[in-house]
Amino acid sequence: MSSFQQIIEDSKPVLIDFFAEWCGPCKMMPPILNQLKANMGSSLRILKIDVDKNPDVASKYQVRGVPTLLLMRSGKILWKQSGVLQAGELQQVIEHHLKVKA
């Protein structure tokens, strides 16, 4: 668990995708996240967390539904939203929050 803590406390922004294997909309996220990664490169880290395998983490961040996306930097939550977003929308949201908080 310490590696998760180190990742979220890093100054590099982290997008966390809380998902579940049984969740239909969650299955739409991998290609979207791959596109986002291709667009943003090394400026963003992306983590996927299975809420069924990591209930403590999901509970800590008050994840009530899946998929839930959480943007963090230096241990702080910059943005959180449930549901599927397209790569372009997601990139705009992330860039906006990084400009505001940078």
pLDDT digits 0-9 by tens, 3-57: 889 999 999 999 999 999 999 999 999 999 999 999 999 999 999 999 999 999 9
Model confidence at 101: pLDDT above 60: no
Backbone angles phi, psi at 38, to 5 degrees: -65, -40
Instruction: Give whole-number Cα distances, 51 to 28, 33, 79, 90, in Å.
Output: 16, 18, 19, 21
The answer to whether 25 is a known catalytic residue is no
Q: What whole-number distance in Å separates Cα of residue 57 and Cα of residue 40?
A: 26
Domains in the chain, please, with CATH? Answer: 2-101 (3.40.30.10)
Going by pLDDT thresholds of 50, 70 and 90, the confidence category of residue 102 is very low
The answer to whether 23 is a known catalytic residue is yes
- pTM of the shown model: 0.92
**Which of the following is catalytic: 8, 26, 51, 63?**
26
Going by pLDDT thresholds of 50, 70 and 90, the confidence category of residue 76 is very high
Model confidence at 98: pLDDT above 90: no
Model confidence at 92: pLDDT above 80: yes
Burial pattern 51-68, b for ≥16 Cβ within 10 A else e, equals: beeeeebbeebebeebbb
Q: At CA 81, angle to CA 42 and CA 6, rounded to 5?
A: 45
Going by pLDDT thresholds of 50, 70 and 90, the confidence category of residue 1 is very low
Rounded mean pLDDT, 57-65: 95
**Which of the following is catalytic: 7, 23, 47, 93?**
23
Model confidence at 2: pLDDT above 80: no
